Amino acid sequence: MAAVPRTALSPRKLMSAMWLFLSAGSIIAAIVIAFTGLPVDLVVATGTFSGVVILFWSVKTYWQALARDSENNDSGEPSSSSSSPTPEAVATAITQGSNVITTVQGVILGLVFGLVGQSGPALTVKVGMVSLAAGLISGLLLYSLSAVAVPDSNRFIAGMLYTLSILALAYGLLCIVSAAVAGHVVAGR
């Protein structure tokens, strides 16, 4: 009996599928939220987040195409001098990035807690705070996983956690800014 070849998706295709899913999901979420009677500032934040996800996906796709083109030399063959960074270099870069992300999210959460007072935050601010907390947790998880080295086999997972942290930060900030612009940072105002 002949062995059946295993067809696994490449990390690049998995990441593209993830971005397609996130784009479609964020658009669907924005539409659903728009028709459920939730506050307008939450609708605006979610709709803006949909645009950010789609824009990021487009730029990322273009960036990858440019990177593939730059890997080829003038003859059209792959350049032998291009090598992937060492696991330690990847770990250093990801650790520094996740450190910044967790610091920013923690400071913003602290400021929001300090500003909302005793009357409690509005719904949109609550959603933003949950998003920031999720980003903070995933950023801390990423930091702990990449503190030593990130082997080639784990770079996809590290990239996904990094992306999750960035997106949670973006959505949390959009929710808080939308609520502040609408004047609903504190419930009842």
Q: Does any domain span residue 18?
A: yes
Distance CA 113, CA 97 (A): 24
Query: Rounded mean pLDDT of 29-45?
Result: 86
User: Encoding tokens for residue 99?
Assistant: 């450190």
Q: Does any domain span residue 60?
A: yes
User: For residue 169, what are the domain limits?
Assistant: 14-76+85-182
Q: Does any domain span residue 142?
A: yes
Residue 2 has pLDDT above 60, yes or no: no
Q: Does any domain span residue 188?
A: no
Q: End-to-end CA distance of the chain: give it in Å, rounded.
A: 72
124: closest CA among 169, 53, 50, 183? 183
- Inter-residue contact 108 to 176 (CB < 8 Å): yes
Distance CA 168, CA 105 (A): 9
Q: Among all chains, which residue has been given the structure tokens 């996809």?
A: 156
Residues in contact with 184: Cβ distance below 8 Å, sequence separation at least 6, in sequence order: 39, 41, 122, 124, 125
Residue 118 has pLDDT above 80, yes or no: no
For 45-100, the pLDDT digits (tens) are 888 888 888 888 887 777 777 767 766 654 555 555 556 777 778 778 888 888 88
For 164-185, the pLDDT digits (tens) are 888 888 888 888 888 777 776 6
Q: Does any domain span residue 187?
A: no
Q: Does any domain span residue 6?
A: no
Q: Does any domain span residue 70?
A: yes
Q: For residue 63, what pLDDT is reported?
A: 73
What domain count does the chain have?
1
For 59-73, the pLDDT digits (tens) are 777 777 776 776 665
Q: Does any domain span residue 2?
A: no
- Whole-structure pTM over 0.85, yes or no? no
Q: Which of 41-45, 67-71, 117-121, 183-187 has the lowest mean pLDDT?
A: 183-187
Residues in the chain: 189
- Inter-residue contact 54 to 23 (CB < 8 Å): yes
What percent of the chain has a predicted confidence (pLDDT) above 70? 77
